[in-house]
């Protein structure tokens, strides 16, 4: 009887849904974020790729000198992807606002790209709050690599 019960439990557990299928990080995912402007016009940012590699760059643009600083773990990268999906970033219209200091983030996957820019400061415009929250999550994940 115990063997039958154990077999039943294993069968049920194997049929239970695992993580959401969409939590798998797409092979073509690219996240770029940056901040800059101000008196110097300097920009710094990072590029996160689907393999978890993180390149940071400064002072002009991602195509300038970039440095590989490490690789995000599969779980951290999956968390970022789930967050992007939860915020529905690819479905939002984005924003192109700028300020003296500006933050920008772009996420690209499956041929779609969503980008938002906003003035960096204590208040974030309502339409870019999901992007700003995602920006902060990405920035924190990358800053943990730099330690």
pLDDT at residue 7, rounded to an integer: 31
pLDDT at residue 5, rounded to an integer: 30
pLDDT at residue 143, rounded to an integer: 93
Query: What is the chain written as a DSSP string?
Result: -HHHHHHHHHHHHHHS--S-GGGSPPTT-EEEEEEEETTTTEEEEEEEETT-EEEEE-SS-TTSSEEEEEE--HHHHHHHHHHHHHTTGGGS--EE---SEEEEEEEEETTEEEEEEEE-SS---GGGHHHHHHHHHHHHHHHHHH-
pLDDT at residue 46, rounded to an integer: 94
Res. 85: pLDDT tops 90:
yes
């Amino acid at each position: 009887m115990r063997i039958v019960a154990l077999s039943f439990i294993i069968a049920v557990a194997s049929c239970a849904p695992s993580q959401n299928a969409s939590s798998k990080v797409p092979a073509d995912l690219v996240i770029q974020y940056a901040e800059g402007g101000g008196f110097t016009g300097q920009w710094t940012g990072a590029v996160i790729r689907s393999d978890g590699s993180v390149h940071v760059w400064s002072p002009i643009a991602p195509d300038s000198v970039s440095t590989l600083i490490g690789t995000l773990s599969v779980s951290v990268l999956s968390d970022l992807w789930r967050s992007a999906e939860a915020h529905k970033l690819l479905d939002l219209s984005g924003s192109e606002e700028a300020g003296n200091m500006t933050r920008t983030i772009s996420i690209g996957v499956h041929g779609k790209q969503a980008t938002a820019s906003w003035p960096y400061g204590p208040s974030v415009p309502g339409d870019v709050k999901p992007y700003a929250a995602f920006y902060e999550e990405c920035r924190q994940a990358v800053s943990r690599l730099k330690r």
